[in-house]
Copies of this chain bind each other. A is one copy, B any other.
Amino acid sequence: MDQEQQDQYSGVGIDGVITPTDRTGNSPGSVIMDPDAYFKAMVPSDTAPGVWRWDDIEHVLSEMAKRPKRYPAYRRFAALVNQQWDGAPGASPLIFVGVQRIYAGETLPGHRHNSVAIYYWISGRGRALVDGKEIPFKAGDFFTCPAWHDHSFVNDGDEEMTMIAIHDLPLLAQARALFWEEPVGSENTQHIVREGAGSWSAQEEHEAMEADPDIVRASAT
């Protein structure tokens, strides 16, 4: 190895991580690790149990109800996250759990995603429409929507409808594989990572969300 080549290893440091000088300028994060460095970096932290109390979830949902512009039906959900996981967040390392509320007379507009969603109705009754076909539901029922099928929900009952949504969304996000289309329409198809998606809806920007003064505060009552 001549001097020029040696100089390429300028980033060589502790812990057996070798950082070759990038010869093309196109691969800034590529390193070579020895087995001990890799082992240490690969072993994730162990975590404590996750606990989310219904009183807290209910409180968040009722706060959202006070800000209907900020939290319309499709964004009126409480995501349960254990922040001890690294990588894409979820209730477990690969699984998302959210609790969503739709009020009597409301419709959650049609959308689709490449994660297969599982729904459980805690309370209320209503209908799902999958590719235009109706499936009625009431409290206690479970439903899964196949990947990339359009689906919407209608609360046609007299009381609020609360449901749990379960996805393998953190796995797909972690793998950089997540697609979302909301509202329905191919012009709204977003590759969540590559296309710099700003929000669940292709028609919204995260910046606009952040600027909204009506951000939910759990203790604001």
Contacts and interface: CB of A to CB of B under 8 A. Distances in A.
Interface bin, chain A: 35 or more
Interface in A167-221: 168-179, 189, 191-197, 199-200, 206, 209-210, 215-219, 221
Interface of A: 1, 5-6, 8-10, 12, 14-16, 18, 20, 22-24, 26-60, 64, 71, 75-89, 91-98, 114-118, 120, 122, 128, 130, 133-136, 138-149, 164, 166, 168-179, 189, 191-197, 199-200, 206, 209-210, 215-219, 221
24 contacts: A1-B221, A16-B216, A20-B52, A27-B48, A28-B84, A29-B83, A30-B52, A33-B79, A34-B78, A34-B79, A35-B200, A36-B206, A36-B210, A42-B89, A42-B169, A42-B173, A46-B193, A93-B116, A93-B176, A94-B116, A94-B174, A114-B179, A147-B191, A164-B164
